[in-house]
Structure 1
Amino acid sequence: MGSSNINPFKDQPSSFAKKFLPYTLLALLPVALLHLYLYPFFLSPTDQLSSNNRVIIPSPPLSQEERKKIDVRTSCDYRNGKWVPTKLGPLYNGTTCGTIKQGQNCMIFGRPDKDYLYWKWTPKECKLPRFDPRTFLKLLKNKHIAFVGDSLARNQLESLLCLVATASNPNLIYTDGEDNKFRKWNFPSHNITVSIYWSPFLVRGIEKTLEKNFNTLYLDSVDERWASDMDHIDILVLSVGHWYLHPAVYYYGDSVLGCHYCQNYTEIGFYDVFGKALNTTFQTVIERRSGSDPWPGSESEFGGSGISVVLTTFSPAHFEGEWDKFGACPKIKPYDESEKKLDGMDFDMRKVELEQVKFAKLKAEKFGNMRFEALDVTKLALLRPDGHPGPYMNPFPFANGIADRVPNDCVHWCLPGAIDTWNEILLDVMKRWKNKGS
């Protein structure tokens, strides 16, 4: 008798196996063929590229729906959101940054309330990260970013310098002009150049004087004080608008188009003029940079010798009375969205800017080496009546009581303060450029 613990399936097939094994093999054959047919799709990208005996199958083109998903990830509607309280204070203060213009250093000049420093702009459909100076330094390595425009361009520039200086100190390498209107810094740690060009119209203009109380603008030619350096600029941040509200005579070529708020010429307002000036500016950028090398994509963060143009939209003022009277901009907290609507001149100035950026994008599409972008801050700026220096444009204005004349700045922004958000958005836009390019 054999051993009772011998496994019958080890030494000989059972009758069940003999009967059904052929049918099992036949059933598995279609599965094996299907696996061989689909096999390449299961390879990792590394396997597909490194295998010498496999066919490399290219990725199928993206569907329209997939493209929409990518666009969502690489764009953000920053304009729709609200200001929410935050416990995180600013990255810098009035003593840790040496580039703040005195009239905007509200801490040093004695502003007693501090709540204006503890608000965060929160878009409804995306996240706006806190400014990371190290990310800025990495993205802008070996680049030149230039701010061009009026005193609000300077306001935004000085905010950026203060934010980045928390990680790397800039060296002032050039200064010229009254009130330091033309300056240039270098961050030696990453060879980044940051500059400011005073150009309150972007186009060629003669500013008003005490003797001639109106500006003279030549709408068909750009201001060469900044444009002559265009070949050396990688990112151009433009900010103008408030000087267009002043009296002015407008020329196009040798002809006078008209004027705004002046005598002896036809009144034509300033909205169309503002649009013409932006059009001339953008067209000049396209003409002068369209011949430069296109972006090679992977060779740099923003590519070759291309240029990115960012227009910071109109920043509303918040005067509630005469500029030299007590309480001209007295608010100490942001508006809720339901309290303040974007309308009137603020709405119209922004509309002109967005239209001109759109036109410039369409014109530049065929060249592939330039970007035009609107940094749309008008609405979020409108909701911050508490963010201006107000009477603290001068040091300790109430040290001796309230005087009859109390000058107020309800146009520019305290540093640190709300305008730091402009640069949070700018940095996030640049990060999205990189992600989209990748």
Structure 2
Amino acid sequence: MNEELACEMYGRKNLNYQYWRWQPHHCDLPRFDAIDLLEKLRDKRVVYVGDSLNRNQWMSMVCLIESSIPDRPKTLHYNGSLIAFKALEYNVSIDFYWEPMLLESNCDDPTNHRVSERIIRGQSIEKHARNWNDADVLVFNSYIWWRQLKLKILWGSFENVDADRIYEDVEMLKAYEMALTTWFEWLDNHVNRSKTRVFFVSSSPTHNRAEEWGKPKKHKCFYETEPIYEEGYWSMDSDPNMMRLVEKYINKLSSQGFNAQMLNITQLSEYRKDAHPSMHRKFWDQLTHEQLTTPNYHTDCTHWCLPGVPDVWNEFLYAYLLYPPS
């Protein structure tokens, strides 16, 4: 368990967030069965590719599976951007690969990626994609790292001397579509349509605007122990235009013969302001007493406690894998 997500271990007393379940209108999600899933994935490789929210979902899946095979052999290996979990009896690999921007960027280091200015290398995906091009199931996300007005696109190599580098400031949605175009073209040219299933997870909402549910703005999600009950609630921090672009490229993949789906987790997660780590997590920078007593500046309202909301996202994935759309 990553210490950023182990909320109970870091002092959270109210555990109601663990017990809410998602009930869609007009259908029922199948109950998650880890052994069923392992049988379905026998001799296969699943790779989650993305940022820390995708790692949040990957960790949820590993916990769901590992808890069902506690005495059976498994391994966990770290190798740079790749974390590989394997259930040996089933020869199933469930991996996570750190790549928050889809393309090569100055945020590629899996641990040291705090940068003052995000730079994406235009149309460059192969450096990362070669690490997951043999997967049977690919689960992508890329959203939160794009949330700024403009980004810098690098035409050239990060290894070139500064004089040889050409930078372009590009409006966010245009840059995002460029990344999705490169992603689509790579899949179209390199992935076996008859073998690989492709998923893209929609945006995971943040809950940094407590004023939206009638609380003081400074509180963020810190004091929250109940979901939002207003059906259809949508935060100002969630950008539907980005997800419409993802949907456009998922539809293009489907038209090209791919088994591709969008995992739409946004609306169900919008309600769950109660389920973030808040201050109940390990902070990798030592916080001062003043910081600890003014948690509005350091409250984590982006990631999700485990067990919790990402388990539902994986129930969606499980349903798609066991019962593909007709």
**TM-score under structure 1 length normalisation:** 0.63
- Matched with 1:419 is 310
1:317 aligns with 2:206: yes
Instruction: State whether residues 109 and 394 of structure 1, in contact with CA within 8 Å, keep that contact through their aligned partners in structure 2.
Output: yes
1:282 aligns with 2:192: no
Partners of 1:341 and 1:242 in 2: CA distance? 16
- Matched with 1:144 is 45
Q: Relative contact order, CA 8 A, sep 6+: which one is greater?
A: 2
Partners of 2:208 and 2:232 in 1: CA distance? 16
1:105 aligns with 2:6: yes
Match of 2:209, as an amino acid? Answer: E
- Matched with 1:205 is 105
What SS class does the counterpart of residue 102 from structure 1 fall into? coil
If you compute each CA radius of gyration, which structure gives the higher value, 1 or 2? 1
- Matched with 1:385 is 273
Partners of 2:27 and 2:188 in 1: CA distance? 31
State the superposition RMSD in angstroms. Answer: 3.0
Provide, for residues 412-435 of structure 1, a one-character-per-residue CA deviation record: whole Å limited to 9, x for no partner.
0000011100000000011112x8
1:318 deviates by: 0.4
Instruction: State whether residues 199 and 223 of structure 1, in contact with CA within 8 Å, keep that contact through their aligned partners in structure 2.
Output: no
What SS class does the counterpart of residue 205 from structure 1 fall into? coil
Instruction: State whether residues 249 and 256 of structure 1, in contact with CA within 8 Å, keep that contact through their aligned partners in structure 2.
Output: no
1:328 deviates by: 2.2
Provide, for residues 316-366 of structure 1, a one-character-per-residue CA deviation record: whole Å limited to 9, x for no partner.
1101369xx97321322121243623666432222221122112222x22x
1:336 aligns with 2:203: no
Q: Decide whether aligned partners of structure 1 residues 326 and 223 sit closer, same or farther in structure 2, where only a CA change above 3 A counts.
A: farther
* Matched length: 302
In structure 2, which of residues 49, 53, 58 is the aligned counterpart of residue 157 of structure 1? Answer: 58
Structure with greater helix percent: 1
Match of 2:16, as an amino acid? Answer: D
Instruction: State whether residues 203 and 238 of structure 2, in contact with CA within 8 Å, keep that contact through their aligned partners in structure 1.
Output: no
Match of 1:314, as an amino acid? Answer: S
- Matched with 2:86 is 186
% of aligned pairs identical? Answer: 25
Provide, for residues 136-157 of structure 1, a one-character-per-residue CA deviation record: whole Å limited to 9, x for no partner.
1111111000011100111000
In structure 1, which of residues 172, 186, 202 is the aligned counterpart of residue 75 of structure 2? Answer: 172
What SS class does the counterpart of residue 386 from structure 1 fall into? coil
Match of 1:125, as an amino acid? Answer: H
Partners of 2:82 and 2:114 in 1: CA distance? 25
Instruction: State whether residues 47 and 132 of structure 2, in contact with CA within 8 Å, keep that contact through their aligned partners in structure 1.
Output: no
- Matched with 2:259 is 371
Instruction: State whether residues 308 and 372 of structure 1, in contact with CA within 8 Å, keep that contact through their aligned partners in structure 2.
Output: yes
Unaligned runs of 5+ in 2: 158-164, 212-216
Instruction: State whether residues 206 and 215 of structure 1, in contact with CA within 8 Å, keep that contact through their aligned partners in structure 2.
Output: yes
1:235 aligns with 2:124: no
Instruction: State whether residues 168 and 189 of structure 1, in contact with CA within 8 Å, keep that contact through their aligned partners in structure 2.
Output: no
1:230 deviates by: 3.6
Q: Decide whether aligned partners of structure 1 residues 230 and 114 sit closer, same or farther in structure 2, where only a CA change above 3 A counts.
A: closer
1:283 deviates by: 1.5
Q: Decide whether aligned partners of structure 1 residues 206 and 389 sit closer, same or farther in structure 2, where only a CA change above 3 A counts.
A: same
Of 333-342 and 116-125, deviating more is 333-342
In structure 2, which of residues 12, 19, 25 is the aligned counterpart of residue 124 of structure 1? Answer: 25
- Matched with 2:160 is none
Unaligned runs of 5+ in 1: 1-99, 260-267, 296-305
1:215 deviates by: 1.5
Match of 1:222, as an amino acid? Answer: I
1:278 deviates by: 1.6
Alignment of 1:30-45 (within 5 A): none
Of 245-254 and 310-319, deviating more is 245-254
